[in-house]
């Protein structure tokens, strides 16, 4: 008889784990507290507009291909990918922006125009970044974080210094132009920490950016959720939505059941892709691996203030992705990590999916979302949300020269309080636990509970870390660990 596995949550890591475990012959059921599948990668459809509510950058396409190849499939079996050109635009002020092209030679030429000699330096920097990418993404991140010895290989030994230096130091030793420094430091923000706190080895994110390019599934990131759900169902996975997990039942130090909407559901094995901290609160105290003091001492990635906005006209001059670095980059980082507070002058990101996807907005209109990174645990009120929308929409109009405020016909905000209520996110963080030196690989929360037999974890607070590609990998790692332990 097949062993029954219950998976908590339906984000990317849960979907990945569900597919691998079903392929291994388990009877898998996924329980999602919200009414749609996808976790933070849910979709909002309203008044003719469609928004991805979570991830919007499709980087590391090779990781997605590797996932589907494990099931003898290709991404193209499920969705169409479009390579964006420009990949994104970075604004520094009025009529002052840089387009990041979809290929390295053009990007190097842009660098050279801004700083003599920087084009050649960029090519060299990217060669090193690619070497790190080949080591990290093709090997290290597919290890379960059980031991320091997973990191010790001849290739990593030759690069040991890169774990004790940092991205900021490396970039600033080669490049002096502040615009170029910001562009090169930007990708590691996806890892959830300041460039000065991110080991040099993580320059592989720069290769993910300039080397592999920025892509977009034809009708949005939710295409990936739908693809993985379809694959999972073809393997026999069952999905139940509006299923609020109230307790993990432990008997004789073994996970035995979930209490869902007041009903006990028996299970042989439980995997949580939900927030790790929240999952442990579903256990009686003696079965929790990590204390509140532990969680409070961790470096978490930022929370975010998001605005989903519909415009009643096309906005012709914009790119799909745009970064607004027209204020002090370092000060905003300090307002997140050093002295947490609402930034006086926030950096922000704007995404116009309807530039690529005609289904994202009614004909002749534009859909967009705006994102301001914020410190986790920050005070969140409707008044602050409104104040900050005014700040960024005013700057947006000034910097782009586009008069758009009067064309807003729909606006919805999502911030720290929503991350807590919708996703049980610790302190309302948006991206999980940062990948700092002391929160890398075996130093992250474990995939398997040491106190409760048959209880496992997956997702952005465990191995390998934050981001959609790591989430796919995390699901595979936990499935392999379950399969390994079941053979003992």
Residue with tokens 């919200």: 34
What mean pLDDT comes out for the span 260-269? 98
Q: Please, what's the b/e burial string for 128-149 (b: 16 or more CB within 10 A of its CB; e: otherwise)?
A: bbbbbbebbbeebbbbbbeeee
Average pLDDT of the chain, as a whole number: 95
Note the helical H segments in 237-373: 276-281, 292-297, 329-337
Percent of the residues in the chain that have a pLDDT greater than 90, as a whole number: 85
- Confidence category of residue 151, pLDDT binned at 50, 70, 90: confident
How would you classify the pairing of strands 348-351 and 321-324?
Answer: antiparallel
Which whole-number Å values give the CA distances from 429 to 17, 151, 367, in the listed order? Answer: 23, 28, 25
Tokens encoding 312? 């009643």
Res. 488: pLDDT tops 70: no
* Per-residue pLDDT, 186: 87
Q: Is the peptide bond before 308 cis (omega within 30 degrees of 0)?
A: no
pLDDT in tens, 285-322: 999 999 999 999 999 999 999 999 999 999 988 999 99
Separation between Cα atoms, residue 54 and residue 351, nearest integer Å:
12
* Per-residue pLDDT, 161: 64
Separation between Cα atoms, residue 225 and residue 153, nearest integer Å:
35
What mean pLDDT comes out for the span 205-225? 97
Res. 152: pLDDT tops 70: no
What mean pLDDT comes out for the span 175-200? 88
- Kindly report whether the global pTM for this prediction surpasses the value 0.85: yes
Tokens encoding 258? 């979930």
Which residues contact residue 76 at a Cβ distance below 8 angstroms, ignoring those fewer than 6 apart? none
pLDDT in tens, 72-126: 999 999 999 999 999 999 999 998 999 999 999 999 999 999 999 999 999 999 9
Residue 331 burial (CB < 10 Å; 0-12/13-18/19+)?
middle
Which residues contact residue 310 at a Cβ distance below 8 angstroms, ignoring those fewer than 6 apart? 47, 48, 49, 361, 365, 366, 367, 368, 408, 409, 410, 411
Question: Of 267, 210, 213, whose CA–CA distance to 21 is shortest?
Answer: 267
* Per-residue pLDDT, 157: 58
- Confidence category of residue 153, pLDDT binned at 50, 70, 90: confident
* Per-residue pLDDT, 160: 62
Angle between helices 222-234 and 61-69 (to 10 degrees): 10
pLDDT in tens, 137-147: 878 889 888 88
- Confidence category of residue 156, pLDDT binned at 50, 70, 90: low
Res. 159: pLDDT tops 80: no
Res. 368: pLDDT tops 90: yes
């Amino acid at each position: 008889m097949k062993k029954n596995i219950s998976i908590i949550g339906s984000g990317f890591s849960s979907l990945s784990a569900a597919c691998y475990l079903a392929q291994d012959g388990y009877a898998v059921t996924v329980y999602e507290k919200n009414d749609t599948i996808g976790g933070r990668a849910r979709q909002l459809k309203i008044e003719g507009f469609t928004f991805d509510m979570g991830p919007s950058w499709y980087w590391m396409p090779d990781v997605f291909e590797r996932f589907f190849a494990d099931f003898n499939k290709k991404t193209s079996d499920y969705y169409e990918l479009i390579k964006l050109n420009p990949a994104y635009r970075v604004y520094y002020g009025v009529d002052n922006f840089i387009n990041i092209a979809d290929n390295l030679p053009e990007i190097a030429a842009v660098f050279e125009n801004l700083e003599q000699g920087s084009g050649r330096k960029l090519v060299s920097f990217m060669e090193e970044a690619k070497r790190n990418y080949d080591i990290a993404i093709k090997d290290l991140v597919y290890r379960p974080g059980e031991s320091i010895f997973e990191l010790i290989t001849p290739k990593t030994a030759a690069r040991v210094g890169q774990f004790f230096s940092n991205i900021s130091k490396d970039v600033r030793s080669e490049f002096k132009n502040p615009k170029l420094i910001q562009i090169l430091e930007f990708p590691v923000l996806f890892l959830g920490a300041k460039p000065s706190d991110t080991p040099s080895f993580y320059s592989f994110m720069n290769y993910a950016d300039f080397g592999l390019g920025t892509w977009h599934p034809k009708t949005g990131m939710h295409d990936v959720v739908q693809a993985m759900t379809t694959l999972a169902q073809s393997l026999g996975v069952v999905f139940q939505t509006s299923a609020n997990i109230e307790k993990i039942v432990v008997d004789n130090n073994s996970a035995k059941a979930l209490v869902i909407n007041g009903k006990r559901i028996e299970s042989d094995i439980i995997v949580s892709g939900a927030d790790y901290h929240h999952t442990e609160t579903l256990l009686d105290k003696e079965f929790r691996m990590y204390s509140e003091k532990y969680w409070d001492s961790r470096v978490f990635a930022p929370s975010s203030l998001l605005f989903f906005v519909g415009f009643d006209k096309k906005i012709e001059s914009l790119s799909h992705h745009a970064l607004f670095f027209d204020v002090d980059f370092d000060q905003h980082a300090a307002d997140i990590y050093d002295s947490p507070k609402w930034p006086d002058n926030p950096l922000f990101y704007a995404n116009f999916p309807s530039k690529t996807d005609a289904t994202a907005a009614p004909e002749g209109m534009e859909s967009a979302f705006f994102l301001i990174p914020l410190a986790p645990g920050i005070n969140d009120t409707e008044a602050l949300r409104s104040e900050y929308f005014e700040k960024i929409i005013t700057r947006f109009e000034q910097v782009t020269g586009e008069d758009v405020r009067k064309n807003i016909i729909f606006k919805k905000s999502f911030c720290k309080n929503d991350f807590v209520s919708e996703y049980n996110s610790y302190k309302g963080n948006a991206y999980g636990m940062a990948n700092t030196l002391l929160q890398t690989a075996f130093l992250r929360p474990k995939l398997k509970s040491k106190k409760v037999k048959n209880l496992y974890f997956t997702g952005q607070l465990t191995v390998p870390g934050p981001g959609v590609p790591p989430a796919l990998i995390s699901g595979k790692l936990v499935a392999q660990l379950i399969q390994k332990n079941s053979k003992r």
